[in-house]
Every structure is written in C-alpha cells, then in structure tokens.
A and B are shown apart, each in its own frame.
Chain A
Amino acid sequence: MAMARPAQGRSLRNAVELVTALTSRDLRLRYQGSVLGWAWSLARPLALGAVLAFALGRVLGTGITAEFLLAGLFPWFWFQGAVQGAAGSFIGNGGLLKKVRFPRAVLPLSTVLGATLQFALSLPVLIGFVIAAGNGPTAAWLGLPLIFALQLGLVTGIGLFVASVTVYFRDLEHITEVLLTLLFYATPIIYSADLVPEGYRWLTYANPLAPIMEGWRGILLDGAMPAADHLAASAGLTALALAAGWGAFRRLEDGFADAI
C-alpha cells in the first residue's frame, strides 16, 4: 500500500504570504506605540556615527568624515540586526515549533527580511547624507544592487546557520554577540581597507563582509567599485555561507520540536 506523506498542499503563494505576514507583524510590533516609530532604526547608526566622527575625526585628528562612517555603519547595523535577530528566531518561537507543522525556515527568513526592510527604508537617509556631503550619483551606483544582494545572501546564510545551531547549542547566541563585536572592528567599517598593514591584508579577503563594506563606501563616496578579485572572494564565501546555513538547517530541523 503506497501512501503519500501528509499532503499539506502548501503552495509557494502560502510560503510567500507567511513570510510577509511574519515580517510585517514583527516590524509593526517593534515600533508599536512609539511616537517616532521607524525613525528609531536610524538612531543607532546616526548616534554612533556622530560620536565616532567627533572622537576619531576631531579628537584624534584622523580626518575621518561623518559620511565615511555612515556609509559603513548603516549596512553594518543591517548585518548585525539580521544575524542577531535570526539567532533567536527558533528558540524564541518554541511554542509554535512544537505545535504546528509549517516550513520552519520562514522564522529566520522573516527576521532577516525584517532587518533588510529596515535597512532599505533607511537607505534614502544615508543617500541624503552622501549627496549633502557633495558626492553626487555616478555610474558606479549601478553596482549597489550587487553589493546589496551579496550582503543579503551573506546574512541569510549566517542567519540560518546560527538560528539552527543555537537550538542545540544555546551558547552560540552569546558567542554570536561577542563575535559580532569583534567583527565590527575586524572589518573595515570605521577605517578603510587601505590602512590595513600589508601583512594583514589577506584578512580582508578571508572576511566576506570586508569587500561588501568597502563596496558600499567605494561606490557611494568615490564612485568606484571594489576590485573584482576582492568581490569574487566575497561572493564565493557568501555562497559558502548560504550552503552551510541551508545545510545546517536541513540537517537539524527535524529535531527542533524535540530540542526546544
């Protein structure tokens, strides 16, 4: 007797609607009842940018500018918010995972999508700063979608991986927090990759986020795409992150309901 596994008849349309509904609910809840709402998502990069511009630019006299910092900080907070949010997306929805059968991947994916939307909504503000600082749009801006896609792939891969493994190894959520702080300084965000001493330059190839950050800044401020080999290295590592994230998720998802 041949029988199919539970035929839930789940359509792609349902999956898309589910991710959309979860994302919009999370975003609405985050700013529900706050007067400034979405504007708060600008507060962190702007405040950090202002402080660093003063501390590094004026006090230490490095000549670093606010727009230089902001062009790195806005994408950085997208990266950090997405990875950090995804880390808790399974363990924070234990009740749901235990009781309802649905494609589990929608949880981290909707968290990542929420952070991405927030970034997309803050992008006009960043571009406003860039233009106000005297950097008009150039042909290189056409490369922005490529950098955007690279970073989206990277946060999705890392987010899926961290979310899945955290279910079994809770310490990972805290380890992620520490690693994110280290990564912030290890990545050329508040400095430029050119300043990295020759002997350590390879590090910016091993770090898939480095060319992405350089990319945002190079395109927006200097009208120049990052070096092709640098981008290729980043694309390769991003593909690796996606494969690792998906692989870990598929391997571990069957046990989620029991492990939480």
Chain B
Amino acid sequence: MPSEGEVVLAARGVSRRYPLAVPGQALKTTLLHPGQAFAAWRHRQRRELWAVRDVSFEVRRGEFFSIVGANGSGKSTLLRLLAGLSKPTKGTVELRGRVSTLLELGSGFHPQVSGRENVIMNGLLMGLTKREMEALLPGIVEFAGLREFIDQPMRTYSSGMYVRLGFAIAAFMDPEILLVDEVLAVGDAKFQEKCYDHIAKLQARGVTIVMVSHDLGAVERFSDRAALMERGRMVAIGAPRKVVGLHLERLAETSPEIRQAIDEGMAADEERVRRLLEEDPEWAAAFASALEQNPAFHEKLRQQQAGQGAGSDARAD
C-alpha cells in the first residue's frame, strides 16, 4: 500500500548550513580585541558546517520511514528541518497534512505546574483549542497511567513519568504525519512496548511516520523503508534490513567490538560489553541488533533492561 499512496512528505535538495562559533561575537571581545574580532568576521564564512547536504526523498501516505546513522550524521537536524523548526539553507521541504512532532518528550513541560495544566498547555502550543484538549485529557492520562498524579506539580514526577506523559500527548494529537526523534529509547521497556504498539496502530490507520532511531531492531521490525545518513548525506535508502545491514557494516569498520559482536552474535567479555552499553548508545543499539540472531542472549539482555527500567521508574509505582 505505501508504494501506491500519494506523496505526503517531500524533501528536495535539502541542505542546512550552521555557522560554527566564531571568537569575537561577544561585545567584550569585540571591544577588547577589535583586530581579532575583525579578522574573525572576515573569515566567518569559512567556519561553517553543512549538517545536512543535498538530501532528497519522498514519503508516501501510511508509510513508516526510518532514518538511521551514527551520532552527528545529521539525522536529527534533518528531522528538525522536516518539522519546520529550522529552515533549510537550500532546498525545500513539503508536507501535506497535520504534523505532530515527538522531539525529546516533555521538553515543553513546566515543572512548577500540574501535569493537567502542562497537557493543556502542550496542546495549545501544538495548535489545538482548550476545549479540544480537555476532551482528549482523560485518554492521555489513562494512556500515560498517571491518573493519581495528574494534579501534582510536574517537579514531583520521575523521568519515566515525564516521558510517558509526553508520548501520550503526542500520540493523542491525531496526527496525519508523525515525526519521531529517538525519544523511545528512554522510559522503561514495558512502556516502550506500549509506544510501539500505539505507533503500529497509528500506522494501521494510515498515519505516516518518520522516525530517527538508534534502535535498529525496531527500525527493522516496523519500517517499510529506511535511509542511512552519513556526514550530512543520505547515502542509502531502501529496505530496512539492507539499510541497517549497511549501517552495521560501516560501524564495524570503525569499531572492532561491533565487528566482534556481529561476527560472534555475542561478546565474550560481559564486563566490557556492559560498560560500552552504558557509555555508547550507538554501540548498544548495534549490539542489540546483532544479538537478534542469538535469541537466548537477547532475552537475557531484555530482562536486564526491563529490570533497570523498573528501577529508574520506581517513583511512578
């Protein structure tokens, strides 16, 4: 079906340039070191970064499109350009339909006011009216599982509760296009599962989803198509399994640990693996995906993650 639907999202030659911080921008520096500031100003055009370069692709109605890539490859910048949060330096982004954006859940929450008020405010920010939000509120609260806490100020919430409320709001916005930025990596495993279930339901209803993620397992499981970003360019686009495979290959070239994990399906040194899992989300995602071939170990890893998730979310219970 997705290959037949109309195009609802189109990026054409999208590029985004960022100027890098130039010394001499502060008034103090300008006044104290005018020569240096002037030199910096003259050379300012050379100090810049093309975070996204000449990216073109189309997404059709009802399609689940994932974007993978190493940290700093430009995938989050691309998503922000798609969301209209920043403007492309070159090229155009065209969207058709109501867009809901999930970038860092709960970033718009104010800690001093209640969850209820934050939900309403979030809805207003996204363009709904107060009445519409009040109608959606019970469902949101139910989905987030925060019925007893919704009238408490949000500073009393655990980080897990923050994330759950944030996702619940975005999920109930009734979007036609949902843009998701690796937000589902946070929160406990049980809620993550619930989120993916909900996304699958949205997809079944014909909602178009564009997701940036490090969770390569989920990318393979849910996507219709995937794309790989590398240093700002979209270097591959196609079947998720192929794109994820290519991504892992590229990662393997840079890290012997990943090479080993992929080759063996598991790593020998549990201590080192655990440290890497904590320190490097990129590696963790690649590792988890590589372990898909080894169900027993994978199950163990999942249990471990679930245990950790429940621990960090203790205040919610």
Taking beta carbons and an 8 Å cutoff, which residues of A are in contact with B? 1, 3-11, 13-14, 17-18, 21-22, 25, 28-29, 32, 95-96, 98-102, 169-171, 254-255, 257-258
Contact = CB atoms under 8 A, between A and B. Distances in A.
Contacts of A95: 107-108
B158 interface: no
A100 B95 contact: no
Interface in B85-133: 85-87, 94-99, 101, 103-104, 107-108, 110, 112-113, 117, 120-122, 124-130
Contacts of A9: 98, 127
Interface string B241-279: 000000000000000000000000000000000000000
A1 B10 CA distance: 10
A13 B108 CA distance: 21
B129 A7 contact: no
Contacts of B10: 1, 3
B18 A3 contact: no
Interface residues of B, number: 36
A101 B84 contact: yes
Contact of A99 (B26, B107, B120): B107
B83 A101 contact: yes
B40 interface: no
A21 B127 contact: no
B96 A25 contact: no
Contact of A8 (B99, B103, B104): B99
A5 B95 contact: yes
A169 to B, nearest CB: 8
Contacts of A7: 96-98
Contacts of A3: 7, 10, 94-96
Contacts of B129: 11, 13-14, 17
A59 to B, nearest CB: 39
A102 B121 contact: no
Nearest to B109: A95
B80 A257 contact: yes
Contact of A4 (B18, B84, B96): B96
Contacts of A14: 124, 127-129
Interface centre among B80, B97, B125 (most CB of A within 10 A): B125
25 contacts: A3-B7, A3-B10, A4-B96, A6-B84, A11-B127, A11-B129, A13-B129, A17-B130, A21-B124, A21-B130, A22-B121, A25-B117, A25-B121, A29-B110, A29-B113, A98-B85, A99-B103, A99-B104, A99-B107, A100-B108, A100-B125, A101-B84, A169-B27, A171-B26, A258-B86
Nearest to B104: A99
A254 B16 CA distance: 13
Nearest to B96: A3
Interface in B126-149: 126-130
A96 B107 contact: yes
A5 B84 CA distance: 9
Contact of A1 (B7, B84, B108, B128): B7
Contacts of B128: 14
Contacts of B125: 18, 96, 100, 102
Interface string B52-88: 0000000000000000000000000000100111110
A16 B96 CA distance: 26
Contacts of A22: 121
Given A100-B101, A102-B126, 12 more contacts: A1-B7, A3-B96, A4-B96, A7-B97, A7-B98, A14-B124, A18-B124, A25-B110, A95-B107, A100-B122, A100-B126, A255-B86
A99 B112 contact: no
A130 to B, nearest CB: 37
- The 10 A-B residue pairs whose C-beta atoms are closest, nearest first, are A3-B94, A171-B27, A10-B127, A99-B107, A18-B124, A102-B125, A8-B127, A99-B103, A95-B107, A3-B96
Identify the interface centre among A9, A14, A170, A254: most chain B CB within 10 Å of its CB: A14
B219 to A, nearest CB: 22
A25 B129 CA distance: 17
Contacts of B96: 3-4, 7
A255 B18 CA distance: 11
B99 A6 contact: yes
A28 B112 CA distance: 10
Contacts of A17: 124, 129-130
A215 to B, nearest CB: 36
A1 B60 CA distance: 14
A96 B117 CA distance: 16
Nearest to B8: A3
Contacts of B87: 254-255
A169 B28 CA distance: 12
A255 to B, nearest CB: 8
Contacts of A98: 85, 103, 107
Contact of A96 (B94, B97, B108, B120): B108
B113 A21 contact: no
Contacts of A258: 18, 86
B85 A257 contact: yes
A3 B8 CA distance: 8
Contacts of B126: 8, 100-102
A159 B128 CA distance: 27
